[in-house]
Amino acid sequence: MSDGRARNDTSPGDGGRRLRPTVIGSTTGGRADPGRKHERPSGTEASPGPNPPDERARLPSTANASSRAPSRTVTAPTAIPGVERKRIGVTAADLERLSPGVSRPVAAKAIRLVQSVVEGRSDRQVTLWGHDAQKNYAAIVSRTLALSQAEVLSRARGYVRRMVDLLGAIDLEAICGVRHPSGVFARLFGGAGDRIESPREFEAARVELDQLIALTGAAIEPLLELKEALEEQARLIRAVTTEIEAAALAAAFLSEHLTTNQPALSRRFLERSMSLTQTVFQIRGSASLHDSQGEQPLSLISAIQDTILVAIPGWLGTMAALTTASSARRQPNPTEVGEHQQQLRTILQQLKA
């Protein structure tokens, strides 16, 4: 009876398969305990199909489970305990109230400076407020002064001064025979010792004038380079002036803003604002000097191009013809000599301008 009940427990539709207990082998040898026997019921054959997968294959090891665990993705910024950094708000109207008529570039720079400040700025940082701009201005002024004393400028000025001396010493009336030359007594006591009163003296002066014309003509290119360098320095001065003025205005606003909460820092900002404002006044007071330094090469170039290279050679050419006519015993009349004298005075005025 027992054998029959055992065979009837297997349904005819399951292909002779029945559930079997899982056998867990020893961890040391990998085999089941030999003391335990698992007998198959009588009359039951082994299933021809594949055995069910081992349960151990379906249980991942700890290392494999950790390697396949999904990684955590940070989707929000990490919060670090601390004090929130608050920036100071400012508008163009606030700056206009402190400095009516302030230019737009200065106001824009001042707003950026104020917005770069955070609450709790140290006293050392306030002390250095605008310091770099002041230092840059000092360096620019030093460079401009060195350029205004360039060698090419001093040499060109020397050439022009010598031309003025030579042309101013020419006595056309005496050279052309319209008036007698000064005598020995007049030369010694009348201040006419350096006068050019004879055709021979005029010829020597003309040779030197030709040399001076060639030298000044060769100085045009270096003078142009000097002019461009001075113009660049003037541009830098304008730019640093805007920076200093903006720093002064921003410091004034910050001094007012911090009056209640940080009075000590407010006073330091006020001191910096006054120092920077004084620098702006000094720059504006010396603006005419900087402009004149930049105009010196340009005025010399104009004098060389318009007067030295054009007017003087033309005047010397007409004078050569006049002195030749005088030596050929054709006496120039006073009107003719007077016209040439007037041209000479005009040339001297242009060179002295």
Residue 31 within any structural domain of the chain: no
Residue 121 within any structural domain of the chain: no
305-310 LR contacts (CB < 8 Å, sep 24+): 305/220, 306/350, 307/347, 307/350, 307/351, 308/160, 308/163, 308/212, 308/213, 308/216, 308/217, 308/351, 309/213, 309/216, 309/217
Residue 74 within any structural domain of the chain: no
Residue 136 within any structural domain of the chain: no
Domain that holds residue 209: 148-245+264-352
Residue 133 within any structural domain of the chain: no
The amino acid at 288? S
Over residues 264-296, the pLDDT tens digits come to 889 999 999 999 999 999 999 988 888 888 888
Q: What is the pLDDT along the chain (353 residues), one digit of tens a residue?
A: 444 444 444 444 444 455 566 555 544 444 444 444 444 444 444 444 445 555 444 545 544 544 555 556 656 656 555 445 566 788 889 999 999 999 999 999 999 999 888 666 667 788 899 999 999 999 999 999 999 899 999 999 999 999 999 999 999 888 887 776 655 444 444 444 578 988 889 999 999 999 999 999 999 999 999 999 999 999 999 999 999 999 999 999 999 998 998 898 899 999 999 999 999 999 999 888 888 888 889 889 999 999 999 999 999 988 887 777 655 566 778 888 889 899 999 999 999 87
What is the spatial distance between Cα 348 and Cα 52, in angstroms, rounded to a whole number?
122
Model confidence pTM above 0.85? no
The amino acid at 92? A
pLDDT at residue 310 in the model: 94
Residue 256 within any structural domain of the chain: no
Domains in the chain, number: 1
pLDDT at residue 83 in the model: 46
pLDDT at residue 44 in the model: 46
pLDDT at residue 131 in the model: 94
Over residues 238-251, the pLDDT tens digits come to 999 999 999 999 99
Q: Are 126 and 268 in contact (CB under 8 A)?
A: yes
pLDDT at residue 327 in the model: 58
pLDDT at residue 124 in the model: 78
Residue with tokens 């120039």: 332
Residue with tokens 């720079």: 109
pLDDT at residue 121 in the model: 61
Query: Would you call 266 helix, strand, or coil by DSSP?
Result: helix
H-only helix segments in the chain: 2-8, 55-58, 62-67, 92-98, 104-115, 123-127, 131-148, 151-168, 172-175, 184-189, 199-218, 220-257, 263-285, 287-303, 312-327, 334-352
